Amino acid sequence: MNDSSDTPLSPQRDLTETSGSRADSNRELADLQVVYVMAGKNPRDELRAIDRIENAFTRLGLAEKAQYAYSRGGTDIRGPSIKAMEQIAAIWGNVDAAWRVRSRGVDQHGIGYSEIETVAVDLQTRTRKRIGFIVPHWRDTNKGGYMLQDERDIYELCANQAQRRVRACLEAIIPGDVVEIAMLQADKTLKAKADTGPEAMLKMVDAFAEFGVTKEQIEKRIQRHLSAITAAQVVGLKRIYASLRDGMSDAGEWFEATGPKSAEGTAPATEGAGTAAVKSRMKASAKKKGSTAPAGKGATVMSYAEVVDAINDATTLDAVNDAGDLIKHVADPQQRAELETVYRARAAEFEG
């Protein structure tokens, strides 16, 4: 028995002239002919397959992992994740996809590499998509990089790179409208079932922490406190997480770096310090613009996060009322309405 066919990362040998390789080649050809014949005798029912795909993405667990997103040129780009394409292919039927290591070698710098080939085939229509590429046995880090020596590390690196190309191959042979139907259903499922509760938000913060993203960075991106997050924003954050998990983007592409707040000219925190800080920023902004206009055209615009933090940080009723006065400086009418609700609830805590 030839072990090289069982372990894709075992050292490669030239087997083109051996009787064993010819037997393997003949067996593969015979197997391929069988699956083509079986696919022809059992064609897919496209309408039923589409219904099953749509139904599959009503499951929250799958919908949460269905899409990745990354930023390019200031535009957010998203698409089906590896897990989503694997599920779509399984239900669509008569589809085969795989990857293998064709050869291994060492480049001119002494760094090992693997030559990988990925392929996806629609056995019914005989449509085939192949992608070949080279994976250097090298891992980059913030402090430089190093060459991989351990077989497990090499396999995991190759598998990670190969799965992305397998997804691209599957996207090439499965009709785009079928994939789009699945993604639309995933969006509907997430918006209908997205959990915005405290426990779910804690889990989200813990998940992003694996990529060095803090709660403050998440709140800065969504421009509000996590306690006021909307279902649509949860959906967006889950796409970003899927992108980070699949290696499609880096945390720095989505979240701004945070550092210690400037203490220039500031006194120790006191009652209503959050409101005072916000008002101080507004005055500084107005001085820079040379504007003394009232709220409206040309006035300083406040973010939802700044105002809700000022309301929540207030420790007296007067401080709450001062924070409530900032609501008019928020541009979005819907956010102003939400802030009014937060303000009234916070004020009631002191009035009660």
Residues 222-250 pLDDT 10s: 888 888 888 778 888 888 888 888 777 78
Q: Is 37 a member of any domain? A: no
DSSP string, 178-235: HHHHHHHHHHHHHHHH---SHHHHHHHHHHHHTTT--HHHHHHHHTS-GGG--HHHHH
| Domain end residue (candidates: 180, 212, 231) | 180
Q: Which residue has the higher pLDDT, 308 or 105?
A: 105
Q: What is the pLDDT of residues 274-303, one digit of tens each?
A: 555 555 555 555 554 454 444 444 456 777
**Residue 217 belongs to some domain of the structure:** yes
Token pair 């990988």: residue: 116
**Per-residue tokens: 62:** 């799958």
- What's the CA gap between 93 and 128, in Å, rounded? 15
Query: At a CB cut-off of 8 Å and minimum separation 6, what does 244 contact?
Result: 208, 211, 250, 251, 254
What would you report as the CA-atom Rg of the chain, rounded to the nearest whole angstrom?
Answer: 28
Q: How many residues does the chain have?
A: 352
Q: Tell me, what's the pLDDT at 335?
A: 75
**6 has pLDDT over 60:** no
Q: Please count the structural domains in the chain.
A: 3
Q: Considering 149, 180, 211, which residue would you say is the last residue of a domain? A: 180
Neighbours of 231 (CB within 10 A): 14
- 11 within some domain: no
Given this model, what pLDDT does residue 305 score?
72
Mean pLDDT of 166-189: 94
Question: Tokens 């028995």 belong to which residue?
Answer: 1
Which residues lie across from 67 on neighbouring strands? Answer: 80
pLDDT at 3 over 70: no
Neighbour count for residue 290 (Cβ, 10 Å):
6
Q: Are 238 and 189 in contact (CB under 8 A)?
A: no
- Mean pLDDT score, 83-93: 95
Question: Is residue 284 one of the residues assigned to a domain?
Answer: yes
Higher pLDDT, 51 or 37: 51
User: Torsions phi, psi of 301, nearest 5?
Assistant: -100, 130
- Residue pair 286/298 in contact by the 8 Å Cβ criterion: no
Q: What is the mean pLDDT of residues 25-51?
A: 85
The CA distance from 279 to 320, in Å, is: 13
Task: Identify the pLDDT of residue 229.
Answer: 86
148 within some domain: yes
61-80 burial, b at 16+ Cβ within 10 Å, e below that, comes to ebbbbbbbbbeeeeeeebbb
pLDDT, mean of residues 117-130: 94
> Does the structure show a pLDDT above 90 at 334?
no
Of the given ranges (108-117, 274-283, 307-316), which has the lowest mean pLDDT? 274-283
Q: pLDDT class for 19, splitting at 50, 70, 90? A: low
Confidence of residue 76 (pLDDT cuts 50, 70, 90): low
Residue 157: pLDDT band (50, 70, 90) is very high
Q: What integer pLDDT is reported at residue 167 of this predicted model?
A: 94
Angle between helices 304-313 and 273-289 (to 10 degrees): 140
Q: Are residues 121 and 172 in the same domain?
A: yes
pLDDT of 50? 96
- Contact (Cβ atoms closer than 8 angstroms) between residue 291 and residue 298: yes
* Residue 349 banded pLDDT, cuts 50, 70, 90: low
| Chosen domain end from 132, 152, 180 | 180
Q: Is residue 189 part of a domain?
A: no
104 and 222 fall within a common domain: no
Residues 6+ apart with CB under 8 A from 239: 67, 68, 69, 78
Asked if the structure places residue 155 within a domain, the reply is: yes
Edge-to-edge strand order for the sheet containing 127-136?
95-106, 112-122, 127-136
| 323 has a pLDDT exceeding 70 | yes
Helix ranges (H only) for the chain are 19-41, 46-56, 60-64, 82-92, 151-173, 176-193, 198-209, 215-222, 231-245, 273-289, 304-313, 317-324, 333-351
Same domain, 150 and 59: yes
198 lies in the same domain as 137? no
| Averaged pLDDT score across all residues of the chain | 79
Among candidates 240, 232, 184, which has minimal Cα distance to 57?
Answer: 184
Mean pLDDT of 34-55: 91
- Considering the chain, what percentage of its residues have pLDDT values greater than 90? 36
Q: Are residues 220 and 294 in the same domain?
A: no
Domain of residue 290, residue span? 273-351
Both 101 and 63 in one domain: the answer is: yes
pLDDT of residue 92: 96
Based on the domain organization, do 333 and 215 belong to the same domain?
no
Question: Do 220 and 171 share a structural domain?
Answer: no
Tokens linked to 97: 């996809």
In a domain, 309, yes or no: yes
- In the chain, the N- to C-terminal Cα span, in Å, equals 81
pLDDT at 21 over 80: no
**174 and 213 assigned to the same domain:** no
